[in-house]
Amino acid sequence: MERTLVLLKPDAVQRDLVGEIISRLERKGLKIVGLKLMSLSTELLDEHYSHLVGRPFYPEVRSFMQRTPVVALCLEGVECVDAVRQLAGITKSREAAPGTIRGEFAMSVQANLIHCSDSLETALVEVPRFFKSEELFEYEDVLGGYLYNSS
């Protein structure tokens, strides 16, 4: 079982797409184990996007991410890091595959609705960056074998 971090960005909040996106993640079979609205500090964003901090477009990305609170989710499931990346689609939304969240609802590179961890290694760092341990929950999965059966 893996856990992954998802952020629904200010464009998702302003465009009233939070419910639609969470609904897609739920219907896929991903289990919500953490969920909250939060404002992102400059310090947190610079850490989260440390691979982009020196890039010319980064100041704009940072100010975009601070325009409204974002919705943070921690999702759980078998190989869920990759499953959520597939659901999100590629960074450049206007070229993202039809059926993906970015492919269906976005046109921009910057305003691309959703962040999701890009590898299990990253998820292991990102989940505790955004969630305290007491904000993450373990509870029974009543669907049992219906969701995964034996694999």
The reply, when asked if residue 15 is annotated as ligand binding, is no
Q: Which stretch binds ligand UDP (CB under 6 A): 23-31, 108-116, 126-134, 136-144?
A: 108-116
Contacts of 19 (CB under 8 A, 6+ apart): none
Q: How far is the CB of 32 from ligand UDP (least distance, A)?
A: 20
Using CB under 6 A as the binding rule, whether residue 44 contacts ligand UDP is answered as no
- Side chain identity at residue 128, one-letter code: P
Q: Which of 110, 124, 141, 147 binds ligand UDP (CB under 6 A)?
A: 110
- Side chain identity at residue 8, one-letter code: L
Count, residues near ligand UDP per rule CB under 6 A: 9
Distance CA 95, CA 110 (A): 13
Q: Which residue has the tokens 């990759």?
A: 82
Q: Which is nearer to ligand UDP, 24 or 115 (CB)?
A: 115
CA angle 29, 137, 70 (to 5 degrees): 75
Using CB under 6 A as the binding rule, whether residue 57 contacts ligand UDP is answered as yes
Buried b / exposed e across 5-33, counting CB within 10 Å, b at 16+? bbbbbbbbbeeebbeebbebbeeebbbeb
Interface mask toward ligand UDP for 64-103; x: CB under 6 A: ---------------------------x------------
Using CB under 6 A as the binding rule, whether residue 118 contacts ligand UDP is answered as yes
| Residue 51 annotated in active site | no
Residue ranges of the binding site: 9, 57, 85, 91, 102, 112
